[in-house]
Amino acid sequence: MQQFDVLIIGSGLAGLTIALRTAAHKKVCLVSKRSINDSASDWAQGGIAAVLNDEDSIENHVQDTLIAGGGLCDEAVTTMVAEHAKEAVEWLIEQGVGFTRDHDNTSFHLTREGGHSHRRIIHAADTTGHAVQMTLSEKVKQHPNITVMENHIAVDLITARKLNVNHNLETKLQPDDYNTDANACLGAYVLDKSTGKVITIAAQNTILATGGAGKVYLYTTNPDISTGDGIAMAWRAGCRVANMEFIQFHPTCLFHPHAKSFLISEAVRGEGGLLKLADGTRFMFEHDERLELAPRDVVARAIDFEMKKRGLDCVYLDISDKPLSFIQSHFPNIYQRCLSFGIDISKTPIPVVPAAHYTCGGVMTDDKGRTDIKNLYVIGESACTGLHGANRLASNSLLECLVFGQTAAEDILSQPTKPSPQLPYWDESRVTDADEEVLITHTWDELRRFMWNYVGIVRTDKRLSRALHRIHMLRDEVNEFYSNFKISNDLIELRNLLQVAELIVESAISRVESRGLHYSKDHPNTESEPIPTVLEPLNYYSLLDR
């Protein structure tokens, strides 16, 4: 068993932020499923939303966020995040992140994205996430108080309640710290993918920063690691989840047979890119008065409508009226990547389709990232903080990672250091090596296809019912496999994806209206009273068998 003060599962911006903000006073372990730089944060193109000039205001940022969120944002949380945005950006600048400057080099260049009333997106060309990720990960790797475990995947959380159910342990824990009623998190089981062995990590505080669940869908802009691990683990441990029906589909993912998951940034539309049909006809006039600068859910539904109505494989995003120098300076990565596929965006439109992009719901937390379980925090895309509501405003995601990374770190640092309990080793005495892996690969493929077809941009009651039926059948098969064979990375991810898929569908079924990112053909109207969708785990003993 290994012991740390702080265990962080996930190496994106949320995980890196809290690691650096706690490491001066705590012994930290950072677990990364692949390399430390393999994260959704690294893929982020657009930037970070923050009020950085006098033409804008905190009130404007808050109102833009509330409008995009369809009535389900927590206004107090939204205000807190907007108020801390400038401070968060300044912290990144202090760490050495090189944001793009204006042509006169006297100030930072701010771009505008859909749903924003002002230019407030600070960015590093069109690879903001990569610039931030590389800067912070180097600092994390060099910090003497941070142990980085790459190529390790968390299996499950270890909680006091689960130990009291499954084990008769003699521990010297204070009853008010680790009792069954409080259900504290004590650490996690983690699989070392290089050896196939599961290690036990004990920690006073555990942070889930594992990102979203885009890989539950067939088409996504997310990296392969986005399998909803943190949400599934927290749910199994007994945490509530909220608003899981709100899956953001990015309107513009590059449509090309060899361009896996490549996003065309929102900023392309923010800088004048126009959506067109193959014959050059614009179509956003028929869908929203904000045209190409409407929020993502509006634009994604408009594209989906046009494609289905006309039987199209894609639509086109055209920024070819801009000078080549402008395109190369503002979108160097997009320009080069499209060029590698034979698409010169300075001369021809970009073929695009919507794709699953961001999980707006997640594990319910307060404004410090704390969950229903003591000593367990969830930050970043895995969390439902109240910031995003029914639809995330562009470039608020990296901002959320930074602000909640700071507030969670401050809460952790306010606590006195306590010894970790002795935890049991992972028991695989009653399982064997899997005789074949076809169940995993087949189930993975089936799940992602029917989630895309039945639980996509536009939904119906019948489709959702069919999806839930299939999920329950597949879940039972995978749980039987999980109980009888040694675990692997693919099995862990599939188990988590099935759990998250069930939460998405159950949430969607319970919302009998259309709001934000959830659009139902059977319930097209929006209710006057916005109510969050909150799912509570079943009683704990049944959860142990899920």
Instruction: Give the tokens for residue 536.
Output: 């509570």
Dihedrals phi, psi of 202, to nearest 5 degrees: -95, 140
* Distance in angstroms (rounded) separating the CA atoms of residues 141 and 20: 10
State the number of CA atoms in the 13 A half-sphere of 49 facing the CB. 29
CA dihedral 159, 160, 163, 168 (to 10 degrees): 160
Pairing of strands 110-111, 121-122: antiparallel
User: Vertex 367, ends 366 and 368: CA angle to 5°?
Assistant: 90
Q: Which of the residues 296, 448, 463, 475 is marked catalytic?
A: 296
Q: Give the DSSP H or E segment for 173.
A: none
* Residue 469 contacts residue 501 (beta carbons within 8 Å): no
* Residue 59 contacts residue 370 (beta carbons within 8 Å): no
Return the beta strands (E) in 171-240 as ranges: 185-192, 197-208
Length, in residues, of the chain: 546
Task: Count the neighbouring beta carbons within 10 Å of the beta carbon of residue 289.
Answer: 8
Task: For residue 296, indicate whether it is catalytic.
Answer: yes
* Distance in angstroms (rounded) separating the CA atoms of residues 222 and 116: 23
Q: At what angle do helices 397-413 and 75-95 cross, to 10 degrees?
A: 90
State the catalytic residues.
296
